[in-house]
Amino acid sequence: MEIIRTPAAMTAWANSILAAGQTIGLVPTMGFFHEGHLRLMRTAKEKADRAVVSLFVNPIQFGANEDLDRYPRDFPRDCGLAEAEGVDVLFAPGVQDMYPPEASTRVMVSGLTDVLCGASRPGHFSGVTTVVAKLFHLIKPQCAVFGRKDFQQLAVIRRMAADLNWDVEIIGHPIVREPDGLAMSSRNTYLSGPERQAALCLSRAIAHARRRVREGLVEAEILLQEVDWLLQQEAVTIEYASLVDQATLRPLAVLQKGVVLALAIKAGATRLIDNDILFEEH
């Protein structure tokens, strides 16, 4: 596995691969890999001739009071895990390489970024879309793989890619969960034992919602009341529980194909998100 540190070297490598008639699959990450990341890497390997994983803790998607400084990092471990998965390149640029002092451009998607996580994290999604746009430009992938745990992020990136006519397939990989149902996340390491147990209310709420849909419930308001009640049984702070269309993220009053149950809570000081496409077969 090759480790590339600079944008210029990354683009030179990508150009050489494309000139040889091969395809590139990209997995954008902020590192501290877990099994969820590794499955994204495997998908990229299946979909393209060469797999590139970017590892960059992107400062412009963190708010002023968020966890940029303490976000978990373990570069040697991440390198070993990526290499074991057969990744061809780990792109790990520095902040100054990605955002020189004179940089003044941001890529923004309107509408989709104003709701759900965007309502409480102003500027977050412009940070995400800016860095992903730069990665697409530097690495020139034919496909890019994202986890569906960050469902709003996936919808925003799909919108950006369509609006800017990028010839790149955006692949959403199903959520990878721990044996007890907690969605895998690098931030799970922050949780104390009691907080982790409390956080399981997310997967319990999702299981309840899927059961109610199978029973024929169609009123979104009723399901949200039941989900809120389940979440309130634990020592967590509810940020939102919403039933939205998976493409537009608009709230739905009637449960139908394409509806997503999107959840965000805080367990202690740790913000966690989860979601499920309720009519999708698992």
Mean pLDDT by 10 residues, the chain (282 residues): 98 98 98 98 98 98 93 97 98 98 96 95 96 98 97 97 98 97 97 98 98 97 98 98 96 95 97 95 72
Which domains, and CATH codes, for the chain?
A: 2-173 (3.40.50.620), 186-276 (3.30.1300.10)
Token pair for 77 = 């471990």
DSSP at 90: E
Q: CB-hemisphere CA count at 13 Å for 269? A: 6
pTM score = 0.96
CA distances from 96 to 7, 56, 124, 274, 280 (A): 11, 12, 19, 32, 42
For the chain, the straight-line distance linking the first and the last C-alpha, in angstroms and rounded, comes to 34
- Please report the pLDDT score of residue 44 as a whole number: 98
| Beta-carbon contacts of residue 157 (< 8 Å; ≥ 6 apart) | 128, 129, 132, 144, 146, 170
Checking phi first, is residue 140 left (phi over 0); if not, alpha (psi -120 to 50) or beta? left
143-147 and 169-173 strand pairing: parallel
- Please report the pLDDT score of residue 85 as a whole number: 98
- Please report the pLDDT score of residue 281 as a whole number: 76
- Would you please indicate which residues are annotated as catalytic (active-site) residues? 37
Query: DSSP assignment of 144-171, as one string?
Result: EEEETTSHHHHHHHHHHHHHTT---EEE
- Please report the pLDDT score of residue 65 as a whole number: 87
Q: Could you tell me how many residues make up the chain?
A: 282
Q: What are phi and psi of 233, to 5 degrees?
A: -75, -10
